[in-house]
Structure 1
Amino acid sequence: MHDSIRGFEDWTDQATKQMLQNLIERKQKFDRAKKMHVSILWLSVFTAFCFLYYLAKSVLGPYSYSFGAMFSVYVSQSVHLYLTVFIGGLFGAVKVLHQLKEKKEKEYQDLRKEIIDRSKDLWKEDAWKKRHEVFDKMKSQFDINLYHGSK
């Protein structure tokens, strides 16, 4: 369990601490998925741009007088096919990583909203007055907003 969660003293019970720990873990998984998605997206865009620039300079420019000549030059070098398949695979990976990121975000948001909805049950009596300290710590240390349910 994270050290800052252990420091919530007696006004936060063990089950609530475990829910907050799960929330932190889901937030970290979502952040990693988001970072991976953006990284692969930019890699694929940069690679596609470089390949298209290369094709424009080496195939389209010199052989623009005939489509047949351009196609013949493009097909004659197998590296063109490999790069085309590689770039297509990168964009496919972007799609898969986007779906993974959306799934992780949904899991994170669902748990966050559940904690917000159940906050009256999780913090009772005297602990209710101290819950804002938990919310502040979660916001400042982990960038998790528990004050309201909308994104």
Structure 2
Amino acid sequence: MHNSIREFEDWTDQATKQMLNNLVERKRKFDRAKKMHVYTLWLAVFTAFCFLYYLTQAVLEPYSYSFGAMFSVYVSHSVHLYLTVFIGGLFGGVKVLHQLKEKKEKEYQDLRKEIIDRSKDLWKEEAWKMRHRVFDKMKSQFDINLYHGSK
């Protein structure tokens, strides 16, 4: 359990602390998935741009007089096929990482909304008056908004 969550006083019970800890872990997993998706996307775009620039300079311009000649030169070098498959695989990886990111975001948002919906049950009587401290700390340290259910 994170030290800052452990430091919440007795007005936050152990089950609530565990829920908040799980929320922080899901947020971190979502952030990691989001970073991996963005890095892979930019790598795929940059690689595709460089490959297309290379093809323009090495194949399209010198052999622009004939489509047959361009196709023949493209197929005659096996590195072109390998790079095409690699770039296609990168874009496929981007799609898989996007789906993973969406799944992690849904898990994170569902737990966050559950905590918001159940806040009346989690903080009772005197603790209800102190819950804003928990919400402020979660917002400032972990960038998790527990005040509103929408993104």
TM-score range, shorter chain: over 0.9
Q: Which residue of 2 aligns with 1:89?
A: 89
Alpha-carbon deviations, 1:20-51, whole Å to 9, x = none? 00000000000000000000000000000000
Q: Distance in 2 between matches of 1:97 and 1:6?
A: 33
Q: Is 1:106–2:106 an aligned residue pair? A: yes
Q: Which residue of 1 aligns with 2:26?
A: 26
Which residue identity is paired with 1:50? C
Q: Which residue of 1 aligns with 2:69?
A: 69
Cα distance, 1:122 vs structure 2:
0.1
Cα distance, 1:6 vs structure 2:
0.7
Q: Distance in 2 between matches of 1:5 and 1:49?
A: 46
Cα distance, 1:18 vs structure 2:
0.1
Which residue identity is paired with 2:97? L
Q: Distance in 1 between matches of 2:5 and 2:94?
A: 35
Task: Give RMSD over aligned pairs.
Answer: 0.2
Which residue identity is paired with 2:104? K
Which residue identity is paired with 2:103? K
1:1-150 to 2 correspondences below 5 Å: 1-150=1-150
Which residue identity is paired with 1:132? H
Alpha-carbon deviations, 1:47-100, whole Å to 9, x = none? 000000000000000000000000000000000000000000000000000000
Q: Distance in 1 between matches of 2:110 and 2:86?
A: 36
SS in 1 for 2:82: helix
SS in 2 for 1:64: coil
Q: Which runs of 4+ in 1 moved over 4 A?
A: none
- Aligned residue pairs: how many? 151
Which residue identity is paired with 1:76? S
Cα distance, 1:136 vs structure 2:
0.1
Unaligned runs of 5+ in 1: none
Unaligned runs of 5+ in 2: none
Could you state the TM-score of these two structures normalised by the residue count of structure 1?
Answer: 1.00
The alignment-based identity, stated in percent, is: 89
